[in-house]
Structure 1
């Protein structure tokens, strides 16, 4: 996925509410890839600068798709790397790996280890 589309995906995720996620998934025929492609197309500006501005405007939003908040953190970190690596800027030198590791462990647990309330979001 081009960097421009990854930024559009992050903007779409930041704009998506629980209800919006379910409605969008239904409109996409319950095809997650189709729903994601529509969100990217909706948030992708005519230029990378325009798409980045869209992400900056929605980044502070608190609503989130129906998933544990830790998964949103992992999404931001992973896609941040998807953006950083092709563009070539150096990795940040000051990190707090313990918080990132904790979030990754929670998100990557097998479904049987995920609490019932969280596992329903992925059913």
Structure 2
């Protein structure tokens, strides 16, 4: 994936999500997302922060909170909320085609947008707009890397096989399902486990529980 391909995919993901959220009422904006304790609106504001915070500003922010990344994310998200849901969405639309990102692997930058879009859509009952091929490419990367989220350790000893794309990664007890559901579970979203089958689902379920840690990962 080169920079042009990255930004084309990221911008398409953001545009599709903004369109999907255009008709939400105030109650829907308060729906809990799959991203920690954040609501749908707060998760979208986080994506705006991600789209507008370059490496120098990111460094100043994390140093200012003594490398407390949760605090950093909370502060930067609050900056993008605006006065109400309409402003939250307007700020996201305004940043949708930005090419700002912190230093890091390209798949991680795309994955943040795809995963958080699912964090927002799934609780709202909105269908995914992410192509299975894109989800499959991200699955392969997150299942074999550890960057910002415990993913490789979570699926160690498992074979992940997509039913909607030509991808299989890992070896061991099998877990099958849509590529996006596999990606979400790999990144700890237990909501996606209901879409998966196979003798490895029980293992993955245990590793998606709150408080699970990967001892000796690396």
Shorter-chain TM-score bucket reads 0.7 to 0.9
Residue range with higher mean Cα deviation, 4-13 or 77-86:
77-86
Q: Of 109, 117, 133, which residue of structure 2 is paired with 1:98?
A: 133
Match of 1:12 in 2: 49
Q: Which has the larger radius of gyration?
A: 2
SS in 1 for 2:60: helix
- Match in the other structure for 1:54: 91
Kept after mapping to 2: 8 A contact 1:17/1:64: yes
Deviations 1:5-35 (A, max 9, x none): 0000000000010111111110111110010
CA shift, 1:107, in A, is 3.2
The answer for unaligned runs of 5 or more in structure 1 is 114-123
Query: Shift of residue 96 of structure 1?
Result: 3.1
What does residue range 41-80 of structure 1 map to in structure 2 within 5 Å? 41-80=78-117
Q: 1:21 to 1:107 in 2, by over 3 A?
A: farther
Structure 2 partner of 1:84: 121
> By how many angstroms is 1:71 displaced?
0.9
Q: Compute the TM-score of the two structures, normalised by the length of structure 1.
A: 0.80
Shift of 1:91: 3.5
Between Structure 1 and Structure 2, the one with more strand by share is 2
CA shift, 1:58, in A, is 0.8
1:33 aligns with 2:80: no
Q: Deviations over 1:96-117 (max 9, x none)?
A: 3223211232234245x9xxxx
Whether 1:109 and 2:138 are equivalent positions in the alignment is no
TM-score by length of 2: 0.47
What is the RMSD of the two structures over their aligned residues, measured on CA atoms?
Answer: 1.8
Gap change, CA 1:30 and 1:91, over 3 Å in 2:
closer
